[in-house]
Amino acid sequence: MEHEYNAKVGGANLYWNREEGLFQFEGEDVVLFWTKTALKTFIDTIEEVTGRDSARVVMETAGYRTGKIVSSFYAAGGKDIQKVLESLPDIYASAGWGATEFKRLCLKEKRAVLEIRNDWESKVAFEQEKERHGTFLGGHWAGLFSGLLGETIWYKVVDYKADEMGSYKEIELYPSPMTPAENVREHIQSQEQQTIMQLEAMVENRTLELRKMIRELSSPVIPVLDGILVTPLMGRFDQERSDDFIEKALQAIVDHKANMLILDVTGIKEMNTLVLSTLEKVTQSIQLIGAVPIVAGISPELGMEMASKGIYLKDLKCFATLKHAVHYAIALEGMHITRAGNQ
C-alpha cells in the first residue's frame, strides 16, 4: 500500500502509515522533533519555568524513568540481557540518539562504560551555549540498566566535549544506592536550605535596621535649658539597649557641656532588675563626669512597687513629675522662672 512504509535500520524496525498519521519505532508510536529548534525550545521552557538547576534534576529524573520503561520493553519474554544490551547501541543510533558504543560491559560486576557521539542532548546544550553536559541521557541509561539488571544503577559523565563539529560523551554506569528520588530530595532540601538562609539573612538585616531605628528613636536626650538635659526612659530594656542608653546619655552631657541630666521614668510601668541596674549605672557614670543626675516621674504606684521589691534609689534626688524636676534643676543653676507680666 502506497500510504504504508516499512524499513529496517540497524536492526530497528520503523513503520509509517501516512493515511492514519502513524509513525512507529520498534512497534511503538514515536514522534519526531527538530533537535536545534523544537526540542531546544521545549527544554528552554522547562528551564525558564523551574530554573536551570531544577531543570537538570527534572531531566535526569525523566531520563531515568524512561530508561526503566525501555528496560521493561526489552526484558519482556525472558530475553538474554547480554544480547539485549549488545543490540541497544544500534537501536539508539537508528533512533537518532547518537553513535553509541560500549567501551566496557561487565554484567557480573554490573558495570559499563558507554561512549556516545553526536547525541541530541549535546546538540541542544551546544545551541544553548552551555558548557555543562546534560543529565537526561545519563539518567536514561542508568534507568535502563537498573531495570534490566534488577539493581539500582547510577551514572557519572567522565568525559564530555561539544563544539560545532560534534560532541563526545563518556558515561560510566555502576551499582549505587543513589536514585533520582534521592537527587530530588537532596535538591529540594538544598533549595529549602538556601531559601531558609536567605530568609534568615533578610530577618537579620531587618532586625539590625529596626534595632538601629529603635536606638535612634528611643530615649532621646533633650536640652531644655543651658546646662540642663532631659532624657525619657520608656519601653522594654535589654542589655544592648541599656548599654546604648548609658553611652548616649554620657555623650550628650559632654557634647552639650551640661551640668544636670534629668532621667524621666514616667514611661516605665515596671521597675525590674535591668531597669534599676541601668539607672544605677547611668547615675553613677553621670556623677563621675561631674554632672548631677535627677530622677523624675516616679508615681505613687511605682514607688510602692519599688519599695515592695526592696528597690531604693539612694543618694538620688527624685521627683514625682518632670515639672518639679525641671524647677529643681533650674534652682540649682541659680535661675528661676517668672511670668513676663511680673518683670
Please give the C-alpha separations between residue 113 and each of 105, 145, 172, in angstroms, as whole numbers: 7, 12, 4
**The CATH number of the domain covering residues in 33-178:** 3.90.1520.10
Amino acid at 83: K
Q: Distance between CA 79 and CA 66 in Å, rounded?
A: 19
Looking at residue 36, the DSSP 8-state letter turns out to be I
CATH class of the 219-334 domain in this structure: alpha beta
List C-alpha distances in Å: 26 to 12, 21, 30, 65, 113.
6, 17, 9, 19, 25
* Predicted local confidence at residue 234, as pLDDT: 80
Coil, strand or helix at 276: helix
Q: Among positive and negative, which fits the CA dihedral 141, 145, 151, 155?
A: negative
Q: Which of 161, 124, 121 is nearest to 141 (CA)?
A: 121
Residue 118 · residue 99 · CB < 8 Å: yes
The rounded distance, in Å, linking the Cα atoms of 314 and 142 is: 81
Q: Given this model, what pLDDT does residue 28 score?
A: 87
- Sheet containing strand 99-106, strands side by side: 99-106, 111-117, 166-175, 153-163
Max CA separation in the chain (angstroms): 126
* Cell, residue 58: 527534572
Looking up cell 519474554 gives: 77
Give the per-residue pLDDT at 188. Answer: 59
| pTM for the full predicted model | 0.55
Tens-digit pLDDT string for the chain (343 aa): 577 888 888 778 889 998 888 989 888 898 888 898 999 998 999 888 888 888 888 898 899 999 999 898 887 767 789 999 998 998 899 888 999 999 999 999 999 999 999 999 999 999 998 888 899 999 999 999 999 999 999 999 999 999 988 999 999 999 988 776 666 566 556 666 666 677 777 877 887 777 676 666 567 888 988 899 999 888 778 888 888 889 989 999 999 999 999 999 888 877 777 888 888 888 889 999 999 999 998 878 777 877 777 766 667 788 888 888 888 888 888 877 666 665 5
Q: Which residues, in sequence order, are CB contacts of 67 under 8 Å at separation 6+?
A: 139, 140, 141, 142, 143, 144, 145, 146, 147
Dist. CA 199–CA 277, nearest whole Å: 36
What is the pLDDT, as a whole number, of residue 190? 60
- Give the sheet arrangement for strand 4-9, strand by strand: 4-9, 12-17, 22-25, 28-29
Range list for CATH 3.90.1520.10 in the chain: 33-178
Which ranges in the chain are annotated with CATH 3.30.750.24?
A: 219-334
